Amino acid sequence: NSHPQAEVARKQMTAGGGIVCFELDGGIERGRKYLDALQVCSLTANLGDSRTIATHPASTTHAKLTEAERLAAGIPPGLIRISVGLEHIEDIAGDIWQAIKASR
């Protein structure tokens, strides 16, 4: 609700979506540690699967860009993108939180 475009999102996406993005402090190294700590979520650069998939664009899909180019494209160093799959939501959420803690 605090996002500047929250109202637009409510009007355009009545049921929401299956991709979640968040940014970790600690840059590229923290993003890599986060992916290494995941146990339930699969690691891949594509997002079309029935499994929950996590990716760290700065070290995968956008790794060949300079930091300035990534930032201009809206890819901060600690960005994590998760495509939610069919696993039980408590398993997915638990994995996300344990990886955040483990990557510190």
Q: pTM for the complete prediction?
A: 0.81
Which of 92, 63, 91 has its CA nearest to residue 77? 63
Pick the closest to residue 95 from 27, 85, 79 (CA basis). 85
Q: What residue ranges do the domains of the chain occupy?
A: 15-102
**Contact between 98 and 37 (Cβ < 8 Å):** yes
Which CATH number fits the domain 15-102, given the four candidates 3.90.1150.10, 3.30.460.20, 3.40.190.10, 3.40.1350.10?
3.90.1150.10
Looking at residue 3, what is its pLDDT? 85
4-40 confidence digits (pLDDT tens): 888 888 888 877 778 889 999 999 999 999 999 999 9
Do residues 76 and 70 make contact, with C-beta atoms less than 8 angstroms apart?
yes
DSSP 57-103: GGGTTTTTS-HHHHHHTT--TTEEEEE--SS-HHHHHHHHHHHHHHT
**pLDDT (mean) for 35-54:** 87
